[in-house]
Amino acid sequence: MLARAALFIVLFSFAPWQFACAKSARAPLEVSTIAQEPADLTDHFMVLEDKQRTIQLEQLLTPEGAQQLKPAVAVGGALNYGVTRSAYWLRFELSNQSEAPVTRMLEIHYARIGEVDFYQTNSDGHYYSQAAGLEFPFSSRAYPNRYVVFPITVAPHSTQIYFLKTQYRSAGSIVIPARLWEPNAYHYYERNDYFNQAWYFGIGSALLLFNLLVYLILRERSYLLYVLYAGSTILAMFSEGGLGAEFLWQEATAWSEISTMVLFALLLGTSYLFIRELLGIRKFSKTLDRILVFICAALFLCPIAFVIDFGDALTPATLLFIVSCLYALMLGIYAAYKRQRFAYIFLLAFGTLIAGGITYALLVLGAVPTNFVTLHGMQIGSAIEMILLALALADRFNEIRKASARDQDALLAAQKQLVESLQSSEKVLEQRVERRTVALEAARAEALNSLATIQAILDTAPVGLILLDTNGRHTQVNKKYQQLVGYSAESLLGTTHERFFANSADYRAFLQRVVATIAQGSLFDEEVQIKRSDGQLRWVHCLVDTIAVGEPNKGLVVAMEDVSDRIQNEQTIKEANLKLEQLLRDLQTSQAYIIQSEKMASLGQLVANVAHEINTPIGAVKSSGASIADAMGQVLTSLPDVLELLNAQQRTIFTQLIAQASNAAAALDSREERELVRVAKTVLEQAGIAKARYFAGLIVQMGLHREIDIYLPLLAHPEAEVIFETATGIVSIMHSTNNINTAVERVSKIIFALKSYSRSPEEEQRIESSVRDSIETVLTIYSNQFRHGVEIVRNYEDVPTIQCYPDALNQVWTNLIYNALQAMNNSGTLTIGIRRVADNVEVSVRDTGSGIPEDIRSRIFEAFFTTKPIGEGSGLGLDIVKKIVEKHNGTISLESEVNVGTTFFVRLPIS
């Protein structure tokens, strides 16, 4: 019932066209008055249906033939004869009462038309024809465009008669939305039309490639089905819009005629397979699932029918498309009734596709008027559906992941319960054996407990830790190392590192370097490339030393940390620096005018800020790496001894101490630290702790001063000094690792801002761009300046994107912000505002500097005028800003008050 109601609403909404009546032929269309807007030719057509397709032009030029032509009946602003085997002759007259010849472009705004023959007279009054359409090679068209376009030249003070003949080889949908354009206006419209197509196919291709990569990584079947659906959608829309005949199969005329319907059948078939997987129809009803499979099979067989007889198959196939769409919609409603989570998103997504598909199908059948919505309905609906289904797919995968996590938690709980049960049974068994066996088992349990404690501590380390025997085989590994190499502990124990190298020769060379370094009594420290279980190559920072100092025969301990991201970031920084150096060289080479000196000054300031910003986190990375290396040698040597010194309760306190110290608050100032050390020293002395002053300093530095009583058992231990030195080393490793991650994130942010700042559109073309993003890019690059006394206040309103030259606007914001910083001597408040004023976006840059005296305000935009000392400014900055703003048809103004500050206002039109 819902499907019938939807179809009834669609048909009823277009009811007025059913009452359109034939209009009497009007006077010839005056072409000299056509300017920016096209003229509709529909009301100027006289039409004749040639059912036998035998009429020739010469017959229509006779009085008897002319009487057969009747005024055209317009359907929604265009001629639409639905699916037919007839040929149609169209006659129209154009008049030019001006003093010069007038050239116009005749466009038939329907890409799927089969054959169009255009007849016009030459200089001697004889008619000649030009042919175009899908049944002809694209290279034969009089004007290269995805639509059928013919140039027409009308002589001055004349009225000329033209003829159009349109038909298909067998049968097809004849829709003739004909318009007459002024050439320049048509070229402008044509560029916008192709630009819009590029946006659509760019979005579709991005969705396809992203989900293809996700499929290759996850091997999830639903992502593969989405890729097949998105690919067939893109190809179908490419063919339906005439772009396939223009760019892919220019000479394949037979394929051009049937390609759209073939690809639409594949589009619907793949989309229903994806819907079947997404909604899980088989879980709800096997009968409904079988019907859906039958419909998919019918859709995939449609191309065979199109190849055999396209004309006879066109109408039934179109009806099959409509029925299948309504059935899929019914399945979505049924799934929503069953409380299926993804059905709601599907109904919204597929509803848009159904609306577009039914509208397009009814257009092909000649049942609805011809307009922008009916011509492009399928494309609009498919774009919205691809985006929404991609979101639904991502949400579905997230739900699967959560369910898997819940199952994993349940499995772990069951395993824990089983372990507890086994331990209980073990205790019962221990009571029944002899005393000596009890003692041995107790000792063995104690040893196992110690190993478990060591493993637990190793597992808390932020780097991969491995113990090797004298033959280089794994004897113990932690969780971080398993995650790093992608293998489980069971598959690693008893094996060597050879599997992680490209070949045996590389592994042997690595072993030789390790042995040579350790033989010299040194710590092996090197970055090497290893191969994970999934074949992925990663760079690791590798530290190797003996388990016992000076005794290599007891085995080796290895620490590994994944540094692939850092190396990649360093490479990115190097590449960015190379690009900057090349940019500087190019600017110096092409410096033909003095105005370029101002851009070089801005670029130099930018590079200085970026270099300063990058050096700080790189220094932090270097310092933290050195700290990790120093602490690692100490910790790996002393940790096993410390654990042997502690009993079970003390090991628990030791683990708690490390965890709390790792999450300690920020550093204290010297006065607070002295006061806390004094209080801690008093507490330790009262507890009888030796070296109370020394341990009080360590406790305050590690942030443990609030809970000293908890750690008194460790402080009272005879080897307390060794215990706390080992704990300090472990905490130092964790803090240094966090510092490296923070520094790398900072470098990545700077590189991203620099790449955004440096981009520029090819051939100075305007593109859609965000003013807010452009300003934020400049602020990110100059962020170093703001740390030294400059406060940034952002008053941003939501404004639309604008058509602009982003690279040029970057220069505007750079000059205004840099001038503001100089006016304030890098100390004050910089306020940046963005708001919409009528059809413009207004950007304001306000400083709290010295202001501009009134007597020179009228000259600040003059070239070479500057108030700075010689050598500090060229006087071209604001001149360049004004020229760039004027290039965007915008305005720039200012308000200033001496000793208060200055505000610059830049207004840019939205379109």
Tens digits of residue pLDDT in 256-294 = 888 888 888 888 888 888 778 777 777 778 888 888 888
In whole angstroms, give the CA distance from residue 646 to residue 648: 7
pLDDT: which is higher, 600 or 750: 750
- For 549-576, give one letter per residue: b (16+ CB within 10 A) or e: eeebeebbbbbbbbbeebeebeebbeeb
pLDDT of residue 763: 43
DSSP letter string over 32-64? TT--SSPEE-GGG-EEEEESSS---HHHHTSHH
Q: ∠ at Cα 96 (94, 97), nearest 5°? A: 140
Tens digits of residue pLDDT in 365-395 = 455 665 666 656 666 766 676 676 667 666 6
In whole angstroms, give the CA distance from residue 744 to residue 566: 7
Q: Phi then psi for 283, rounded to 5 degrees? A: -70, -30
Sketch out the chain's domains with CATH numbers.
Answer: 23-181 (2.60.40.2380), 193-400 (1.20.1070), 461-562 (3.30.450.20), 763-909 (3.30.565.10)
Residue 833's nearest CA partner among 794, 799, 778, 800 is: 794
Match 């010849």 to its residue by tokens: 101
Tens digits of residue pLDDT in 672-690 = 778 888 888 888 888 888 8
pLDDT: which is higher, 772 or 598: 772
Tens digits of residue pLDDT in 216-225 = 877 878 778 8
Strand partners for 30: 95
- The rounded Cα 784 to chain-centroid distance in angstroms is 29
The model's confidence at residue 826, banded by pLDDT at 50, 70 and 90, is confident
State the average pLDDT for the chain.
78
The model's confidence at residue 8, banded by pLDDT at 50, 70 and 90, is very low
- For 721-747, give one letter per residue: b (16+ CB within 10 A) or e: eebbebbbbbbbbbbbbebbeebbebb
Q: Could you tell me what percent of the chain has a pLDDT over 70?
A: 74
pLDDT: which is higher, 75 or 793: 793
Match 């989570």 to its residue by tokens: 341
pLDDT of residue 378: 64
